[in-house]
C-alpha cells in the first residue's frame, strides 16, 4: 500500500501526540505511526481498560497524560498503532510493518518522536532474570497493574527511582530497600543550578514530597552505594554493594536498576543526522534547530529523542516541531508560526532551569556506567564482556563500528541499543580519548528485525508467508552457522 | 516475580506457555504474562545457554524473545496476549523451521 502525507510523525508519546494535535489544527495531511498498541509512549502507557484506582496511585502527571491521550484519540487523527518503522529513506519514504503486513508511506516532512530509553547499567550479574530496569517495572504497573510479589530492591540514581518507589507504596507494594548510587559530589556540581531550579517550585516540591513519603513508609535507604553486583545461579537471588564503608548483601528475587534515561537515537543515527555528545547527560543527542530540525532535510525531532527534557517539555517541543513543519510546508507564514510558538517557548525556558539542576544532581556514577572488571557482560545479545572491548580498543578500535567488527558487540537483535553507551565509555577510557571523539554505531535498516516475508510483501502484496520456516531473522541464521 | 493488584478486570484471556495454561487480563503483554506467572526466565541464550528474562519491557533489549504461535524470536513485551495463543520459551540455539 503506497500513500503520501504532508507530515508523518513517528511515536505516540507526549511529543508525537502534541505534534499531531497541532498539525491537525493547522489542517495538515498527517499520519502518526507508533509501535505500541496504544498511545501514550512509555511515560503514559496504560492497559486496555482504564483503572481509576491505579491511575490515582500513578499521580497527577499521569492523569494529565491520560487527558492528553483522550484529546488525541478524539481529534480524528490518522493514527496507526502497532506499526513499526524499519527504514526511513533520504526521500522520506517510511518502510513500515504492521500486524497484517508491510506498508510504505511517503512524507514531505517527518517528525521523529521516538523518545527515550533507560541507560544500561552494566554491573556484574545484570543479565540474570529478575534484574530489570526501573522503567520496565513501571511499565508492568501502568499496563498490568502489577507490583512485585515479594519486596523488591530499587538500585541506582535519578528521579524515576523515587517516583516508582512512591507509586509502588501507593499501589500497596512493599520495598525491601532503596540503594542509591548518586555520588555525594553531585550535590556541589548541582548547587549553581539551584537558583534557576527554584523557579520550578512545583518540580522541587514534588521531589521533596516523594522523599518524605519514602521516609514515612520507613523504606530502608542506603546512600552513596558503590560496587553493585547481582548474585544468583539462574536468576537474581541477592544484590551486593558497599555503602557507608561496609559490605552489604540483600536477598531479593527482583532488583530494579536505574541510572536515568537517554535519547533513543537509533533512527536518527541511522539516517545520518548530525549528533553531539552531551557531557552532562552522557549520551549522544541529535543537533537540532529552533523547530527541532535535524541536519537531514525534512526530518525534525521532538521530545526526549532530541535530548532528555521530560514529558512536560516534550509536549511543547512536539508543538514547536509541528509549527516548524507547517511553515516549511507553506501552510503558515513565519509570523503565525512564531506567534503560536510563544507560550511553548516561555514554558521551555522555565523548564530548562530545573533540568540543568536535575541533570547535574543525578549524573550517573562512573561505576554504574563502566564495568570495573573485565568479566561483566557489556553486549547482552552477543555476550561480549568488558575485557574484550578493552582488548579491541587496545588493538586499534577507535570507534564503535570497529569494536563491533572486532568483537561482534552490537551485532545481535538489539542492534547495539543496550551496549552502545558502555562500549563508548570503554573505548574512550582505554584509548585515553574524550567520549565525544569516539564515533557512535551507525545503525542500518532494518531498525528492528523484519521477516523476509514482510520485505517480499512490499513488492508483491499477494505474497503470503506459508510456514514459520520462512521467518528467518538474522539471529536464526547465525544460530545455525 | 510480579502480582496483580486487585481490580475489577477479570483474567479472561487464556494462553499456553510451554503447554501450561495461563489466564491473563485483556491488554497484558506476553512478557507481563510470563512475569506474572512467576517465570523470570524467558529464554536461554543461543551463545552460551545463559538464562535471560524481560529487562526493558519496551521493545529495546530483545531479551524476552519467545516463540509465539510457531513464529520464533517475537518480542514478548511488544505482543499482547490473545485467547488461544501458544507461547514457547526459546531455550538455547533455535533451529530454522522449528515451530
**Cross-chain residue pair A234–B41, CB shorter than 8 Å:** yes
CB contact under 8 A, B62 and A48: no
Strand order from edge to edge, sheet including A246-251: A226-231, A238-243, A246-251
Q: Give, for all 481 residues of chain A, the pLDDT tens digit.
A: 459 999 999 999 999 999 999 999 999 999 999 999 999 999 999 988 888 999 999 999 999 999 999 999 999 999 999 999 999 999 999 999 987 788 899 999 999 999 999 999 999 999 999 999 999 999 999 999 999 999 999 999 999 999 999 999 999 999 999 999 999 999 999 999 888 888 777 777 888 888 899 999 999 999 999 999 999 999 999 999 999 999 999 999 999 999 999 999 999 999 999 999 999 999 999 999 999 999 999 999 999 999 999 999 999 999 999 999 999 999 999 999 999 999 999 999 999 988 999 999 999 999 999 999 999 999 999 999 999 999 999 999 999 999 999 999 999 999 999 999 999 999 999 999 999 999 999 999 999 988 887 777 776 655 554 433 344 444 444 444 3
Closest partner residue to B54 (CB to CB) among A47, A54, A132 is A132
Q: Do A380 and B55 touch (CB under 8 A)?
A: yes
Q: Parallel, antiparallel, or unpaired for β A275-278 and A283-286? A: antiparallel
Map grid coordinates 513543519 to a residue: A325
Tell me phi and psi for residue B7, to 5 degrees. -155, 175
- Give the residue from chain A lying closest to B33, CA to CA: A144
Helix (H, G, I), strand (E, B) or coil at A284: strand
Residue of A nearest to B36 (CA): A146
Q: Do A476 and B73 touch (CB under 8 A)?
A: yes
Interior angle at CA A235, CA A229 and CA A240, nearest 5: 20
- HSE of A343, CA atoms in CB hemisphere, 13 A: 6
Contact A180, A157 (CB under 8 A): yes
Write out chain A residues lying below 8 Å of B97, CB-based. Answer: 467-469
* Contacts with A135 from chain B: Cβ below 8 Å: 56-58
Query: What one-character-per-residue DSSP string does A104-125 give?
Result: EEEEEEEEE---EEEPP---TT
Q: Give the position of cell 513565519.
A: A334
A332, three cell numbers: 503558515
Domains and CATH numbers, chain B: 13-91 (3.10.20.440)
First to last CA, chain B: 28
Q: In terms of CA atoms, which chain A residue is nearest residue B96? A: A469
| 3-class SS string, chain B | CEEECCCCCCCCEEEEECCEEEEECCCCEHHHHHHHCCCCCCEECCCCCCEECCCCCCCCCCCCEEEECCEEEEEHHHCECCCCCEEEEEECCCCCCCC
CA B46-B48-B53 angle, 5° bins: 70
Residues 99-128 of A with CB under 8 A from B: 117-118, 127-128
Q: ipTM exceeding 0.85?
A: yes
Give the span between the Cα atoms of A100 and B20, in whole angstroms: 28
Cβ contact A268:A276 at 8 Å: no
Of B1, B9, B41, the CB nearest to A149: B1
With beta carbons less than 8 A apart as the criterion, state whether A260 and A309 touch: no
- Establish if A431 touches chain B: CB-CB under 8 angstroms: no
CA distance A227 to A240: 8
Chain A positions in Cβ-Cβ contact with residue B91 (cut-off 8 Å) = none
Interface of A with B in 180-239 (CB under 8 A): 234-236
Nearest to B89 by CA among B35, B54, B56, B41: B41
Amino acid at each position: 500500500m503506497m500513500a503520501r502525507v504532508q507530515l508523518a510523525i513517528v511515536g505516540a508519546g507526549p511529543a508525537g501526540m502534541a505534534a499531531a494535535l497541532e498539525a491537525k489544527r493547522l489542517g495538515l495531511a498527517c499520519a502518526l505511526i507508533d509501535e505500541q498498541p496504544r498511545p501514550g509512549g512509555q511515560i503514559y502507557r496504560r492497559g486496555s481498560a482504564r483503572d481509576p484506582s491505579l491511575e490515582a496511585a500513578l499521580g497527577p502527571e499521569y492523569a494529565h497524560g491520560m487527558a492528553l491521550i483522550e484529546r488525541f484519540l478524539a481529534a480524528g487523527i490518522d493514527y496507526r498503532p502497532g506499526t513499526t518503522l524499519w527504514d526511513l529513506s533520504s526521500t522520506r519514504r517510511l518502510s513500515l510493518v504492521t500486524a497484517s503486513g508491510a506498508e510504505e508511506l511517503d512524507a514531505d516532512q517527518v517528525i521523529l518522536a521516538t523518545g527515550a530509553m533507560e541507560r544500561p547499567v552494566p554491573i556484574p550479574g545484570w543479565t540474570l532474570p529478575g534484574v530489570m530496569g526501573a522503567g520496565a517495572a513501571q511499565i508492568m504497573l501502568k499496563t498490568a497493574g502489577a507490583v512485585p510479589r515479594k519486596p523488591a530492591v530499587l538500585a541506582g540514581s535519578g528521579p524515576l527511582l523515587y517516583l516508582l518507589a512512591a507509586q509502588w507504596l501507593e499501589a500497596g507494594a512493599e520495598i525491601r530497600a532503596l540503594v542509591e548510587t548518586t555520588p555525594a559530589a553531585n550535590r556541589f556540581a548541582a548547587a549553581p543550578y539551584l537558583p534557576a531550579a527554584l523557579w520550578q517550585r512545583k518540580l522541587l516540591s514534588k521531589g521533596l514530597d516523594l522523599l518524605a513519603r519514602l521516609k514515612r513508609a520507613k523504606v530502608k535507604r542506603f546512600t552513596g552505594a558503590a560496587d553493585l553486583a547481582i548474585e544468583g545461579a539462574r536468576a537474581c537471588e541477592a544484590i551486593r554493594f558497599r555503602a557507608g564503608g561496609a559490605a552489604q548483601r540483600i536477598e531479593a528475587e527482583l532488583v530494579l536498576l536505574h541510572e536515568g534515561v537517554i535519547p533513543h537515537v537509533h533512527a536518527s543515527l541511522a539516517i545520518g543526522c548530525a549528533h553531539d555528545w552531551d557531557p552532562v547527560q552522557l549520551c549522544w543527542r541529535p543537533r537540532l534547530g529552533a523547530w527541532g530540525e535535524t541536519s537531514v532535510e525534512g526530518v525534525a525531532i521532538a521530545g526526549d529523542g532530541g535530548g532528555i527534557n521530560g514529558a512536560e517539555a516534550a509536549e511543547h517541543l512536539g508543538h514547536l516541531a509541528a509549527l516548524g513543519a507547517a511553515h516549511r510546508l507553506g501552510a503558515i507564514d513565519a509570523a503565525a508560526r512564531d506567534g503560536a510558538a510563544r507560550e511553548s517557548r516561555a514554558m521551555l525556558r522555565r523548564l530548562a532551569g530545573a533540568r540543568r539542576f536535575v541533570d547535574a544532581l543525578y549524573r550517573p556514577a562512573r561505576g554504574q556506567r563502566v564495568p570495573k572488571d573485565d568479566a561483566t557482560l557489556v553486549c547482552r545479545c552477543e555476550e561480549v564482556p568488558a575485557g574484550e572491548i578493552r582488548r579491541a580498543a587496545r588493538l586499534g578500535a577507535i570507534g564503535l563500528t570497529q569494536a563491533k567488527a572486532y568483537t561482534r558487540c552490537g551485532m545481535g537483535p538489539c542492534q547495539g541499543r543496550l551496549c552502545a553507551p558502555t562500549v563508548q565509555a570503554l573505548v574512550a577510557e582505554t584509548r585515553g580519548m574524550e567520549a565525544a571523539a569516539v564515533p557512535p554505531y551507525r545503525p542500518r535498516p532494518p531498525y528492528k528485525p523484519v521477516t523476509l516475508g514482510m520485505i517480499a510483501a512490499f513488492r508483491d502484496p499477494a505474497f503470503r508467508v506459508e510456514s514459520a520456516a520462512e521467518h528467518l531473522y538474522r539471529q536464526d541464521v547465525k544460530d545455525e552457522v | 516475580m510480579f502480582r496483580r493488584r486487585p481490580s475489577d478486570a477479570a483474567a479472561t484471556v487464556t494462553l499456553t506457555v510451554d503447554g501450561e495454561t495461563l489466564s491473563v487480563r485483556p491488554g497484558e503483554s506476553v512478557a507481563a504474562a510470563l512475569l506474572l506467572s512467576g517465570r523470570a526466565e524467558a529464554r536461554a541464550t543461543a551463545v552460551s545457554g545463559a538464562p535471560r528474562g524481560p529487562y526493558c519491557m519496551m521493545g529495546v533489549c530483545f531479551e524476552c524473545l519467545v516463540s509465539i504461535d510457531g513464529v520464533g524470536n517475537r518480542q514478548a513485551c511488544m505482543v499482547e496476549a490473545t485467547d488461544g495463543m501458544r507461547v514457547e520459551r526459546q531455550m538455547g540455539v533455535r533451529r530454522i523451521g522449528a515451530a
